[in-house]
Amino acid sequence: MSGGVDSSATAALLQQQGYDVVGITLKLWPQDCVSRAEDKCCGPQAVVDARAVCGKLGIPYYLIDESAEFQRTVIQYFASEYKAGRTPNPCVMCNQNLKFGRLLDRADQLGARYIATGHFARLEPSPDGKRVLLKRGRDPVKDQSYFLFSLRQDQLARALFPLGDKTKTDTREVARHCQLKTADKEESMEICFVPDNDYGGFLEQANLARKHRGEIVNLGGQVLGWHEGIEFYTIGQRKGLGISAPKPLYVVELDAAANRVIVGDDSALARDEFEVERCNWIAFETPPATFEAKAQIRYHHPGAAATITPLPDGRARVALRAPQRAVTPGQAAVFYDQDVVLGGGWIRAGKALSLSRGDG
């Protein structure tokens, strides 16, 4: 329970359905969060709100310290990815390792059969009954299935997503009906441990990155300026480059080995093929030799028609029917058949990100 309306409504709905519910908040950030935003899931107000909701519902409440595991599997991953020239997705890793990893261990200790969260996603058995299928939430605006693509079958089999068929408005109505104090609480859309969405400032303040000078070059290798660390740049970035040019330039590649930020015009951001690694397949035990799907390359991406070709060592090649802008190494690419999550993987850097044909 994060202290927000979604997890509050989840607890209320489960109680109404006859479940024996226990509320748990994971304390993830090792430092005192008073100086951070009060609405964050690590903040003291979040704990107060979650405890109050549990009190109102008459269910047990526990605050469990998982800050060491969060530091190891999320914060360090977050910093390492930026140092390697990739853009991380900490929410996927938190779901995989904390909410459906360590929390399952806690559930076993409490004798609980399921883990329930406020994610807007749905679960249902496959037609043959052999697998658990993950599907988009009914509300397309709030759907969060993208962040859950890396969950294994044993994790999905013990998951409950009561909000999967509801809209955000429905969720608030549930909380209001139960007179929960979080019913009208504003939701945070930022990374929970990054104040003001300033990830570069966070990396510096937490001593996870330091400024180090390097070249900003164009696609031909010409030096156009200097950067203070590739960790502070992302693919597709235009602002803050500190260089002048006759037309807008964007970050098109981050070369960690050479400590270079490579820039080009907007057309250079287009990609028609890329590779993913560390694939997780949900809809099938072994994927077909090739299949058609809609590939979603970031959370707010609408998805693009693609041909997926699984490769050895947990990789897959993604051939897009139409080039897509800013395919970003380190982000997740999740494959859908209508609203069913087939699986997904992590976008690779390097030669796999070839320039779209015709862009040079």
Question: Active-site positions?
Answer: 94, 192
Are the C-beta atoms of residues 119 and 165 closer than 8 Å to each other?
Answer: no
CB 169: neighbour CB atoms within 10 A? 8
Instruction: Of 298, 295, 299, 319, give the one whose Cα is nearest residue 307.
Output: 319
Angle at alpha carbon of residue 239, lines to 234 and 240, rounded to 5°? 85
Query: For residue 340, what are the β-bridge partners?
Result: 135, 337
Q: How far apart are the first and last CA of the chain?
A: 50
Are the C-beta atoms of residues 232 and 200 closer than 8 Å to each other?
Answer: yes
- 74: Cβ contacts below 8 Å, ≥ 6 apart: 28, 90, 93, 94, 97, 98, 193
Instruction: Of 76, 74, 355, 87, give the one whose Cα is nearest residue 233.
Output: 87
Which residue bears the tokens 């969950």? Answer: 151
